């Protein structure tokens, strides 16, 4: 059975990276698609693990070569998802999580050949978002204000998503996200992807 793609968006500072870290530690058969970006790495980020950190020239070359399923400029930097990374995993039955912004999600929705579930993670309030973003101490004031302003705009896209997870209590948000993935697996077991399961295989 093929793996499934989960597209996840959230305003910066919501806690998406934290939730996904917990989820990956608790679940098997699901992997994170490592995006390419032109932004500078944060002190705790590793090249090839959190992102593939590339120059603007390298990124443009990848666009020209058609390497990206989608790419977008977010908070002043380029980010893109490589097509081959997704195909390689879903073809061997691994579910793939794409952590992308609302513009990238719009592009993928219009790519009819990609079947995916769209999940929006929201903070419990804008005040909580600001306090988390400040608490992370990863941005200078200008970048933080840009992320907050973008976050407000991104919240307007929530109705475009299949699922909404509110990250109030971290553990509950992780359970909610895991439940969505398990539900999709149960759905696929019934053969909704066009490959009906023969009952004997289940016993």
What is the edge-to-edge ordering of all strands in the sheet holding 68-74? 52-53, 36-37, 77-82, 68-74
Is there a contact between 144 and 133 (Cβ–Cβ < 8 Å)? Answer: yes
- DSSP H or E stretch at residue 33: none
Assess 62 for contact with ligand 5GP (CB under 6 A).
no
Q: Which of 136, 146, 178, 185 binds ligand ADP (CB under 6 A)?
A: 136
* Residue closest to ligand 5GP, measured at CB: 104
Nearest to 10 by CA among 158, 109, 140, 139: 158
User: 34: which 2 tokens?
Assistant: 């490592």
Is there a contact between 101 and 72 (Cβ–Cβ < 8 Å)? Answer: yes
CA atoms within 13 A on the CB side of 94: 17
User: 46: which 2 tokens?
Assistant: 């590793």
User: 162: which 2 tokens?
Assistant: 């299949």
Q: Pick what 81 binds: ligand ADP, ligand 5GP, none; C-beta below 5 to 8 Å, kind-dependent.
A: ligand 5GP
Q: Which of 17, 103, 143, 150 binds ligand ADP (CB under 6 A)?
A: 17
* Residue closest to ligand ADP, measured at CB: 15
- How many residues of this chain bind ligand ADP (CB under 6 A)? 14
Q: Which of 7, 19, 96, 100 binds ligand 5GP (CB under 6 A)?
A: 100
Dist. CA 190–CA 147, nearest whole Å: 41
Q: Which of 19, 20, 30, 72 binds ligand 5GP (CB under 6 A)?
A: 72
Other CB atoms closer than 10 Å to residue 192's CB: what's the count? Answer: 11
Assess 134 for contact with ligand ADP (CB under 6 A).
no
Min separation Cβ 10 and ligand ADP, Å: 5
- DSSP H or E stretch at residue 112: none
Assess 194 for contact with ligand ADP (CB under 6 A).
no
Assess 15 for contact with ligand ADP (CB under 6 A).
yes
Q: CB under 6 A: which stretch of 93-101, 113-121, 122-130, 187-195 binds ligand 5GP?
A: 93-101
Closer residue to ligand 5GP in complex, CB, 54/176 = 54
Contact residues toward ligand 5GP (CB under 6 A) are 9, 12, 35, 39, 70, 72, 74-75, 79-81, 99-101, 103-104
């Amino acid at each position: 059975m093929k793996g499934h793609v989960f597209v996840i968006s959230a305003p910066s500072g919501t806690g998406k990276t934290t939730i996904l870290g917990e989820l990956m530690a608790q679940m098997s058969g699901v992997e994170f698609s490592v995006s390419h970006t032109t932004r500078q790495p944060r002190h705790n980020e590793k090249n090839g693990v959190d992102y593939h950190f590339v120059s603007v020239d390298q990124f443009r070359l990848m666009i020209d070569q058609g390497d990206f399923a989608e790419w977008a400029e977010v908070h002043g930097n380029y980010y893109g998802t490589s097509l081959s990374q997704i195909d390689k995993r879903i073809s061997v039955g691994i579910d793939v999580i794409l952590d992308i912004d609302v513009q990238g999600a719009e592009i993928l929705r219009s790519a009819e050949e990609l079947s995916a579930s769209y999940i929006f993670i929201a903070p419990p309030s804008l005040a909580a978002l600001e306090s988390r973003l400040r608490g992370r101490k990863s941005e200078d004031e200008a970048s933080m204000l840009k992320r907050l302003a973008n976050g407000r705009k991104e919240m307007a896209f929530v109705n475009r998503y299949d699922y909404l997870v509110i990250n109030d209590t971290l553990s509950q948000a992780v359970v909610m996200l895991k439940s969505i993935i398990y539900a999709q697996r149960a759905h696929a077991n019934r053969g909704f992807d066009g490959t009906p399961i023969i009952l004997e295989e289940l016993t």
